[in-house]
Chains A and B, each alone.
Chain A
Amino acid sequence: MAKRVTVDRSRRPGAGSAPKITLPAFGRLRLSNGLNIVAIHHDDLPQVSSRLVLPFGTVEDDRDRAGTALLTARALTEGTEGRSASEMAERLDLLGGRFSLDVSYDATVLSLHFLSRVFDDALDFISQILSRPTFEPKEVERLRDERLDEIARGLDEPRIIANLRLNEASFGDHPYGMRAGGVEETVRRIDSETLRAFHARYYRPSEATLILVGDVPETDELEGGLEKAFAGWRGEAPLASPLANPEPVDGVRLWAVQRSGPQSEIRVGFLGIARSDPDYAAVSVMNAILGGLFSSRVNMNLREDKGWTYGAASRFEARKCRGPLHVATAVDAGATVAAVREIVKEMERMKTASASDEELELAKNALTLSLPRLFETPSHVSRRVKQQIVYDLPDDYWETFTDQVRNVGEADVRRVADRLLSTDRPAIVIVGPVAGFRSELDELGPVEMRDIHGQVVDQ
Chain B
Amino acid sequence: MPRAENGVVHFELKERTLNNGLRVIVQEDHTTPVVSVHVMYHVGSKHERPGRTGFAHLFEHLMFQGSEHVHDDAHFKFVQDAGGTLNGSTWFDRTNYFETLPSNELELGLWLESDRLGFFESAITQEKLDNQRDVVKNERRQSYENRPYGLAIETILRLAYPEGHPYRHPTIGFMEDLDAASLEDVRGFFRTFYAPDNAVLVLVGDLDVEYGFKMADKYFGEIPRGPGSPQVTAPPVAPGEEIREAIYDTVQFPRVYMFHHAPALGQPGFEAADVLGFLLSEGKSSRLYRSLVYEKRIAQDVTAQVWPTEDCGLSFIVATARPGVAAETLEAGILETLAEIHAGNISERETEGSVNRALRELVKLIDSVGSRSDAIATAATFLERPDYVNQLFGRVESVTPEAVVAVAKEWLVPERRTTLFVLPEGKDGGGE
Q: CA of A156 to CA of B300 in the docked complex: distance in angstroms?
A: 14
Please state if A332 and B138 are interface contacts (CB–CB under 8 Å).
Answer: yes
CB atoms of A43 and B73 under 8 A apart: no
**Cβ-neighbour of A261 out of B100, B130, B146 (below 8 A):** B146
Q: How far is the CA of A262 from the CA of B357 in the complex (A)?
A: 40
Known: A1-B217, A260-B250. A362 touches B81 (CB 8 A): yes
In contact, A365 and B251 (Cβ under 8 angstroms) = no
A353 contacts partner chain B, Cβ-Cβ < 8 Å: no
Are A293 and B80 interface neighbours, CB within 8 A?
A: yes
The answer to whether B415 has its CB under 8 Å from any CB of chain A is no
Partner of B80, one of A115, A145, A295, A310: A295
Q: Would you call B229 an interface residue if the criterion is a C-beta within 8 Å of the partner chain's C-beta atoms? A: no
From A1, A12, A18, A149, contact of B323 by CB (8 A): A149
A308 close to B (CB within 8 Å): yes
* Residues in A neighbouring B126, C-beta threshold 8 A: none
The answer to whether B283 and A9 touch across the interface, beta carbons within 8 angstroms, is: no
Nearest B residue (CB) for A261: B146
- Whether B69 and A89, one on each chain, are in contact in the complex, defined by CB atoms closer than 8 angstroms, is no
Which residue from B18, B352, B363 sits with its C-beta under 8 Å from A46? B363
Q: Does A155 contact B (CB under 8 A)?
A: yes
Q: Of B2, B8, B218, B352, which contacts A94 at CB under 8 A?
A: B352
A260 to B214 CA separation, bound complex (whole angstroms):
56
> A304's closest neighbor in chain B, by CB?
B73
Q: Are B111 and A365 in contact, with the CB atoms below 8 A?
A: no
Knowing A261-B146, A309-B138 are in contact, say whether A1-B80 is a contact too (CB < 8 A): no
Contacts of B9 in A (CB 8 A): 45-46
Q: Name the B residues within 8 Å of A86 (CB-CB).
A: 285, 290, 294
Q: Are the C-beta atoms of B130 and A307 separated by less than 8 Å?
A: yes
Does residue A153 face the partner (Cβ distance < 8 Å to B)? yes
Q: Is the CB of B138 within 8 A of A18?
A: no
Contact: B369 with A332, CB < 8 Å? no
- Chain A: minimal CB distance from B119 (Å): 7
Contact B222 A4 (CB under 8 A): yes
Whether A46 lies near B142 (C-beta < 8 A) is no
Residues of B contacting A306 with CB < 8 Å?
134
At the interface, yes or no: A442 with Cβ under 8 Å from chain B?
Answer: no
A203 to B137, CA, bound (A): 49
Complex: chain A residue closest to B299, CB-CB: A149
Q: How far is the CB of A396 from chain B (nearest CB, A)?
A: 19
**A93 contacts B284, CB within 8 Å?**
yes
Contact B349–A262 (Cβ < 8 Å): no
Cβ of A19 under 8 Å from chain B: yes
> B1 near A: Cβ within 8 Å?
yes
Contact B83 A330 (CB under 8 A): no
List of B residues within 8 angstroms of A92 by Cβ:
283-285
Is the CB–CB distance between B31 and A157 below 8 Å? no
Instruction: Give the contact stretch, choosing among B101-109, B161-169, B177-185.
Output: B101-109
Asked if A202 is at the interface of the complex by the 8 Å CB criterion, the answer is no
> Do the beta carbons of B4 and A45 come within 8 Å of each other?
yes
Chain A, 342-371, contact with B by CB distance < 8 Å: what is the 0/1 string?
Answer: 000000000000000000011001101111
Shortest distance between the CB of A181 and any CB in chain B (Å): 15
Q: Which of B250, B354, B357 has its CB near the most chain A CB atoms (within 10 A)?
A: B357
B303 within 8 A of A: no
List the A side residues contacting B147 at CB < 8 Å.
157
> In the complex, what's the smallest C-beta–C-beta distance from B299 to chain A, in angstroms?
10
**For B81, what are the chain A residues with a Cβ–Cβ distance below 8 Å?**
361-362, 365-366, 369
Residue in B closest to A22 when the chains form the complex, CB atoms: B33
Choose one: B107, B145, B222; the contact of A262 (CB below 8 Å).
B145
Q: Are B359 and A115 in contact (CB under 8 A)?
A: yes
Smallest CB gap from B354: residue in A? A93
Q: Is the CB of A377 within 8 A of B368?
A: yes
Q: B148: nearest residue on chain A (CB-CB)? A: A156
Task: Point out the residues of chain A lying under 8 angstroms from B80, CB to CB.
Answer: 293-295, 362, 365-366
* B364:A153 contact, CB within 8 angstroms: no
Q: Does B187 contact A (CB under 8 A)?
A: no
Known: A4-B221, A156-B148. A310 touches B138 (CB 8 A): yes
Q: Closest CB-CB distance, B213 to chain A, in whole Å?
A: 8
Residue pair B76, A295 in contact (C-beta under 8 Å): yes
* Cβ-defined contact, A372 with B34, below 8 A: yes
Given the complex of chains A and B, what is the CA–CA distance between A315 and B110 in angstroms? 31
- Give Cα distance in the complex from A303 to B137, angstroms: 11
> Counting CB contacts under 8 A, is A97 at the interface?
yes
**Residues of chain B contacted by A117 (CB below 8 angstroms):** 6-7
Considering only residues 85-121 of chain B, those with a C-beta below 8 Å from chain A are: 85, 100, 102-108, 110-111, 115, 119
Residues of chain A lying within 8 A (CB to CB) of residue B138: 263, 307-310, 330-332
- Contact present for B252 and A155 (CB under 8 Å): yes
Which residues of A87-136 have CB atoms within 8 Å of chain B's CB atoms? 89-90, 92-98, 113-118
Which residues of A23-70 are within 8 A (CB) of B? Answer: 41, 43-47
| Residues in chain A near residue B290, CB distance under 8 A | 86, 89
B410 to chain A minimum Cβ distance, whole angstroms, is 25
**Contact yes or no, B285 A89, CB < 8 A:** yes
Chain A residues lying within 8 Å of B367, measured Cβ to Cβ, are 43, 45, 47, 377-379
B371–chain A nearest beta-carbon distance, Å: 9
Alpha-carbon separation in the docked complex, A289 to B253 (Å):
41
Instruction: Report chain A residues within 8 Å CB of B237.
Output: none
Q: Is B429 an interface residue (CB 8 A)?
A: no
Any A CB within 8 A of the CB of B19 = yes
Is residue B206 contacting chain A, with contact meaning CB distance below 8 A? yes
Whole-angstrom CA separation of A307 from B137 in the bound complex: 9
Task: Identify 18 new A-B residue pairs, CB closer than 8 A, beyond the known A2-B217, A15-B104, A153-B252.
Answer: A1-B217, A7-B219, A9-B111, A10-B69, A19-B104, A41-B1, A44-B1, A85-B294, A89-B290, A93-B354, A94-B352, A142-B294, A149-B253, A156-B251, A158-B146, A308-B138, A309-B142, A376-B369
Interface residues of A (CB under 8 A from B): 1-2, 4-5, 7, 9-21, 41, 43-47, 77, 85-86, 89-90, 92-98, 113-118, 142, 145-146, 149-150, 152-153, 155-158, 215, 217, 260-263, 293-295, 300, 303-310, 330-332, 361-362, 365-366, 368-373, 375-380
14 contacts between A and B (CB under 8 A): A5-B214, A7-B218, A94-B349, A97-B360, A149-B300, A260-B250, A263-B142, A293-B76, A300-B73, A310-B136, A362-B80, A372-B34, A372-B103, A379-B364
State the B residues within 8 Å of A (CB): 1-9, 16, 18-19, 31-34, 68-69, 73, 76-78, 80-85, 100, 102-108, 110-111, 115, 119, 130-139, 141-143, 145-148, 206, 213-214, 217-219, 221-222, 250-253, 282-286, 290, 293-294, 297, 300, 320, 322-323, 349, 352-357, 359-361, 363-364, 366-369
Going nearest first, the 3 A-B pairs with the smallest beta carbon separation are A369-B83, A96-B356, A307-B134
